Amino acid sequence: MSINKVISNDNRQLIITIEDSFDFSSHQQFRNAYSEYNIVGGKVVVDLSKTTYMDSSALGMLLLLKDHVEALTGKLIIFKPNATVLKILEIAQFHRLMNIEP
């Protein structure tokens, strides 16, 4: 499990990349990746292109991130989940809650 973050030069976009498993063991590292990003109207991209597994606690973490971003009137994008992760997101109806870009 590895979580990396990159903030654009203009601070308008935060990209969080999750590699391997996204589960409860990722909780603190995931929260640390976005908790200090408080740009009103900013965009947060969660890159799941390298994520191989996601459990229910990861879904909860995404919901907490969604609340954080919405409180700042920002935009949240889930980017390129693989087929397995996309299926989990669809079963949980996350496509109704947030923008998922294949």
- Tens of pLDDT, residue by residue over 33-92, are 999 999 999 999 999 999 999 999 999 999 999 999 999 999 999 999 999 999 999 999
Distance CA 69, CA 88 (A): 22
| Amino acid (1-letter code) at residue 29 | Q
Distance CA 86, CA 84 (A): 5
Domains of the chain: 2-101 (3.30.750.24)
Query: For position 100, what pLDDT does the model report?
Result: 97
Query: For position 9, what pLDDT does the model report?
Result: 95
Q: How confident is the model at residue 95 (pLDDT cuts 50, 70, 90)?
A: very high
Residue 1 has pLDDT above 90, yes or no: no
Tokens read off for 26: 């990722």
